[in-house]
Chains A and B, each alone.
Chain A
Amino acid sequence: MYWEPEKECMARQDLEQVQLERLQSTLYRVGTHVPFYRRKFDALKVNYDDFQSLEDLRRLPFTSKQDLRDNYPYGLFAVPLRDVVRIHSSSGTTGLATVVGYTRNDIKNWSNLVARILMAAGVTDEDVIQIAFGYGLFTGGFGLHYGAERLGASVIPISAGNTKRQIQIMQDFKTTALVCTPSYALIIADTLMEMGINPNGLSLKVGLFGAEPWSEAMRQEINEKLGIIATDNYGLSEVMGPGVAGECMECSGLHINEDHFLLEVIDPESMEPVAPGEIGELVITTLTKEAFPMIRYRTRDLTRLIPEPCPCGRTFMRMQRIMGRSDDMLIIKGVNVFPVQIEKVLFEIEGTEPHYQIIVDRENHSDKVTVLVEVVESIFFDEMRKQRVMIDHIKSRLASELGIAVDVKIVEEKTLERSEGKSKRVIDNRML
């Protein structure tokens, strides 16, 4: 089933025509309305007026998350604020936030694109859909909400957390579709088991999971434990939010909404496009966004395109589930964490050494971060009470910087492994 069959199944050459037309007018609009892009184009002597083919995209400069931060809050908006009807912010924490805006048309397109993905994943207007994504500045909750409403499904905007209540509502309201992070789906499954509820007795049949990396093994586990068909979907607030790409019931790659987004896969070192089907960093250009167009945004997400046609009949190219990051960003409980943030905090605390290690585990389907910090000898051999004070201090500073709670352990000087050149700062045991 398709939400917009005439779009989702369009012939490649028609699609390319639409993409070119939309790219040309997007470039014209950012070139004339957004000083940041105009300066960048001028510096590279790119004439945004003279774009002849989609391949010309490669002449354009990249946009990075840092560019968004440098232009905080409204510097990259292409319309006056009075035309903006919604503002979201990325999950980034204090000082690192990025702001995105939407016009009325943007919201309409966004809803439609999410509706496509929901329908591709098996949701129809007869479904009762429980949205257990956080609502608020995070794009996940509202993005899925509007899409599901557009589709005509019955939406339960329960938001994240309070697992027992989620299950209560799931039972009483006869939820048929679940939207949350994959790890939360497993927490729900385990809680069901603890409560002695048989998942087969629920009405649940499909689940759409995203906002964090997950694996094929996790999909199997979710499918088995909840008795549903779990699909993956992808999006990021910088280009829109959920609705960029999503899996169909074939569950073998995410269809990209190519009439609204132009995707490239590049080698993060050379910045050149990789051969078709090779793994690289995903770069996205928006084709229809009015308030917040994005030109060649470096997502830092690693994936590959799947050029083979999909049996479902959609002609939109698929991409493989996100395979990792091209930078050292960690996604912990859906929050973006950079090791450099941790480094900054430790640097400011007296008595710590600039040597640390971040260990990420997944216990009971919940991410757990432990930071090992080397401290100077005098503190390490000091009395226990002083050590505790130090640990608590580091913990609270990290919590306020990162927005999530982490565990801290202090270790003796020179006990953490040093390697030549780049030290191994992060040990991710989550097996994603």
Chain B
Amino acid sequence: MLKIRNLDSGYGKLRVLKNISLHVHGGEIVAMIGANGAGKTTLLHTISGLVKPTAGRIEFEAKDCRRMPAQKIVSCGCSLVPEGRQVFATLSVKENLILGGYVLQKNEGKKAVERELQHQYDLFPVLKERSSQLAGTLSGGEQQMLAMGRALMSRPRLVMMDEPSTGLAPLIVRNIFQVIVRLRNEGNTVLLVEQNAKAALSIADRGYVLETGKVILQGPSEDLLANRDVQRAYLGREKIE
């Protein structure tokens, strides 16, 4: 579904991503783990078209989207749940969601948006309860759900999530991750960027380990969880055997 080859990207003269290759198949959850500053967010921003790559190829469903503007990439079916939610605080929950359905409305009309809105309410019942509340008044976990719901409104085939667990209580994190698994079970594809390596790998099918802009390891999640380098660097423990 998503295929990236030899991607270089960064800001000005700063080369953040160095020769990155990765792929995501339809129906997979793929985790991208790594420390602060490894380039995880830059990667998602480059795929979304917010940062322009300096070299390499990005193919989404066999279409070259390296030079597409960000809004075009969303209408291709690839949307981003940004880090720190970034909900529109002064708009209501419902308005936030409807904004997420902008592409859908343009292509399929208002009815489709209405249907999709109901679908998000099914997925996140709390958003229905708070539909007329201002987004800025929601708790962190609720805002995260709203950000996810907003991204899903465009009915993307690939959802990219940037650190959905940031700043959330462990119980809420578990909730959010359960929703991600549910999304996959409903046929969605998820590229999940996380510092919480253990949580991310426990729900992902495969994973990549990013270190200073390079993919240093990749493989099935269980292999990464069993890898001693990953354990030392990202799981914060030496497995006692």
Which residues of chain B have C-beta atoms less than 8 A from A14's C-beta?
23, 25
| C-alpha spacing A109/B218, complex, angstroms | 14
- Please provide the chain B residues from 180 to 224 with a CB less than 8 Å away from any CB of chain A in the complex: 214-219, 223
Whether B166 sits at the interface, judged by CB under 8 Å, is no
Which residues of chain A have C-beta atoms less than 8 A from B215's C-beta?
21, 24-25, 28
Which residues of chain A have C-beta atoms less than 8 A from B216's C-beta?
25, 28-29
A49 touches B214 (CB 8 A): yes
Determine which of A29, A52, A290 lies in contact with B19 in the assembled complex, contact meaning CB atoms within 8 Å: A52
Whether A336 sits at the interface, judged by CB under 8 Å, is no
- Total chain B interface residues with beta-carbon distance under 8 A: 20
B23 touches A108 (CB 8 A): no
The smallest beta-carbon distance between A286 and chain B, in angstroms, is 13
Which residues of chain A have C-beta atoms less than 8 A from B217's C-beta?
25, 29
Which residues of chain B have C-beta atoms less than 8 A from A105's C-beta?
219, 223, 226-227
| C-alpha spacing A323/B132, complex, angstroms | 76
| C-alpha spacing A23/B12, complex, angstroms | 29
Which residues of chain B have C-beta atoms less than 8 A from A400's C-beta?
none
Which residues of chain B have C-beta atoms less than 8 A from A250's C-beta?
none
The smallest beta-carbon distance between A35 and chain B, in angstroms, is 18
| C-alpha spacing A154/B5, complex, angstroms | 43
Whether B229 sits at the interface, judged by CB under 8 Å, is yes
| C-alpha spacing A24/B25, complex, angstroms | 19
Residue of A nearest to B228 (CB): A83
Residue of A nearest to B59 (CB): A17
| C-alpha spacing A310/B18, complex, angstroms | 38
Residue of B nearest to A16 (CB): B5
Residue of A nearest to B20 (CB): A24
| C-alpha spacing A53/B56, complex, angstroms | 11
| C-alpha spacing A49/B228, complex, angstroms | 23
Whether B6 sits at the interface, judged by CB under 8 Å, is yes
A 329-344 binary contact with B (CB < 8 Å = 1; else 0): 0000000000000000
Whether B65 sits at the interface, judged by CB under 8 Å, is no
Which residues of chain B have C-beta atoms less than 8 A from A79's C-beta?
228-229
A20 touches B227 (CB 8 A): no
Which residues of chain A have C-beta atoms less than 8 A from B223's C-beta?
105, 108-109
Whether B22 sits at the interface, judged by CB under 8 Å, is yes
B23 touches A49 (CB 8 A): no
Which residues of chain B have C-beta atoms less than 8 A from A50's C-beta?
19
B219 touches A24 (CB 8 A): no
Whether B75 sits at the interface, judged by CB under 8 Å, is no
**Contacts A20-B21, A25-B215, A25-B218; is A103 near B5 (CB within 8 Å)?**
no
Determine which of A21, A29, A104, A290 lies in contact with B21 in the assembled complex, contact meaning CB atoms within 8 Å: A21
Whether A405 sits at the interface, judged by CB under 8 Å, is no
| C-alpha spacing A83/B5, complex, angstroms | 31
| C-alpha spacing A288/B217, complex, angstroms | 9
Whether B3 sits at the interface, judged by CB under 8 Å, is yes
Whether A425 sits at the interface, judged by CB under 8 Å, is no
A18 touches B23 (CB 8 A): yes
A 289-320 binary contact with B (CB < 8 Å = 1; else 0): 01000000000000000000000000000000
**Contacts A20-B21, A49-B19, A51-B19; is A104 near B218 (CB within 8 Å)?**
no
| C-alpha spacing A83/B230, complex, angstroms | 12
B23 touches A21 (CB 8 A): yes
The smallest beta-carbon distance between B200 and chain A, in angstroms, is 18
Determine which of B19, B23, B219, B226 lies in contact with A17 in the assembled complex, contact meaning CB atoms within 8 Å: B23
| C-alpha spacing A24/B23, complex, angstroms | 14
| C-alpha spacing A105/B217, complex, angstroms | 12
Determine which of B18, B22, B25, B229 lies in contact with A21 in the assembled complex, contact meaning CB atoms within 8 Å: B22
The smallest beta-carbon distance between A105 and chain B, in angstroms, is 5
B 1-26 binary contact with A (CB < 8 Å = 1; else 0): 00101100000000000110111010
Which residues of chain B have C-beta atoms less than 8 A from A25's C-beta?
214-218
Known: A50-B19, A103-B228. 14 other contacts (CB 8 A): A17-B23, A20-B21, A21-B215, A22-B218, A25-B215, A25-B218, A49-B19, A51-B19, A52-B6, A79-B229, A83-B228, A104-B226, A105-B219, A288-B219
12 example contacts (A-B, Cβ-Cβ < 8 A) are as follows: A17-B3, A21-B218, A25-B218, A52-B5, A79-B228, A83-B228, A105-B219, A105-B223, A108-B223, A109-B223, A288-B219, A290-B227
Question: B: which residues have CB within 8 A of A?
Answer: 3, 5-6, 18-19, 21-23, 25, 214-219, 223, 226-229
Question: A: which residues have CB within 8 A of B?
Answer: 14, 17-18, 20-22, 24-25, 28-29, 49-53, 79, 82-83, 103-105, 108-109, 288, 290
- What 5 pairs between A and B have smallest CB-CB spacing? A83-B228, A21-B21, A105-B223, A52-B6, A17-B23
